[in-house]
Amino acid sequence: MKSLIRKILIGNTPVSEYSTITVPGDITEKVFLKKGNTQLDISGSHWLLCLKPVVFGIWFSEKNDAVLPDKERGARYKMYFNDAEKNARTVAVLELSFLNKIEEPDGILLLLRLERPVTHHINLIKTLFLYYRHYKKPEQDLTVLRSFSAAYSYPRKVRLISFKEGEYCNIFPMDLVGDIPQSKRYVFGLRHSNVTLARIIETKKILVSEIPYEQKKIIYQLGKHHRDPLSANDLPFNIIESEKFHFPVPAWANSYKEIMIEKNINLGSHMLLWGEEINEKKISPPHGHLFHIHFLHYLHQQKKGHAYPLV
């Protein structure tokens, strides 16, 4: 009976918390930030940076400052997540409050904290079925599920982080990363439990690699090194050394950037690192990156007939 109910509600799709996808072409979802009567498209300039609480970073260039005058504590915003542009539907609406900001000569990174999520990926009955059957746990109530499913209603690209200091070495994947090409800036959200965080803050150096989804198995194996450092001699793949920092980079990476960290801010469960690119190296043509979206968003995509390819 349980299997029949499951099939009726969600079909035969294996349930997971997040779906691993690749994005052929451009991301089709859109994200908008609204303050008062002003609404801006922030699709390519917003990033998830912390999970407890949920915090987003949004970059505004000096020419796009329509919402900036009200960047004060207590200021309220709304963020709208829309699915594919054709017959677009809003799948999540978030109420956010001002948390902090980083100001630069050419723009500002606005940090907003999630206060209340409303989601519309699937109907309430299906949502409750999935929650009580698969997602309910002490650290995740229904509000947390809605918060994460909203935040991951926009594909979050997975990248590899590298670090080396003397004999100490680490490489691990993460998707709480944002890049601002026109400003050569990067922003990272690293868990406080990450064993390499203190060393990155002390040396002010970090390397980020763009990677192909074909290496998914190895990428996820490296995930354990958020808590356990590794030895470059133990890596199951060939590496090259970066030009400036001499950090290890997988030989199969598409490219890497060496970043000098200029600022760090405690957001809660994660530490924000803000830095500037000092060197970029292209290794191979970029193609088929790995992304995460929430499973509830993937179910919504399936229903509309435009799901990204799973990898």
Q: What is residue 1's predicted lDDT score, i.e. its pLDDT?
A: 42
Average pLDDT over residues 173-178: 96
Torsion of CA 51, 53, 54, 60, to 10 degrees: -120
The yes-or-no verdict on residue 173 having pLDDT over 90 is yes
- Asked if 185 contacts 153 with a C-beta cutoff of 8 angstroms, the reply is no
Averaged pLDDT of the chain = 88
Please check whether residue 158 is in contact with residue 211, taking contact to mean a CB–CB distance below 8 angstroms. yes
Share of the chain above pLDDT 70, in %: 87
What is residue 74's predicted lDDT score, i.e. its pLDDT? 64
The larger pLDDT score, comparing residue 10 to residue 211, is at: 211
> Cβ-count burial of 56 within 10 angstroms (0-12 exposed, 13-18 middle, 19+ buried)?
buried
Say what the pLDDT of residue 293 is.
Answer: 96
Mean pLDDT for 31-47 is: 92
Least confident of 3-12, 53-62, 271-280: 3-12
For the segment 216-234, the average pLDDT, to the nearest whole number, is 76
- Is residue 286 over pLDDT 60? yes
Neighbour-count burial of 236, counting CB atoms closer than 10 A to its CB (0-12 exposed, 13-18 middle, 19+ buried) = exposed
Average pLDDT (142-149) is 93
pLDDT tens string 128-137? 888 788 788 8
233 phi, psi to nearest 5 deg: -70, -20
| Amino acid type, 105 | P
Give 86's pLDDT tier (boundaries 50, 70, 90): low
Question: What are φ and ψ of residue 87, in 5° steps?
Answer: 55, 45
pLDDT confidence of 69, banded at 50, 70, 90? very low
Domains of the chain, each with CATH number or no CATH: 27-155 (2.30.110.10), 159-282 (2.30.110.10)
State mean pLDDT over 206-226: 90
Per-residue pLDDT at 232: 61
Q: What is the pLDDT of residue 73?
A: 56
Q: What is the mean pLDDT of residues 34-53?
A: 93
Residue bearing the bigger pLDDT, 132 or 279: 279
Tens-digit pLDDT profile for residues 202-211 = 999 999 999 9
Neighbours of 125 (CB within 10 A): 9
Rounded average pLDDT over 225-232? 65
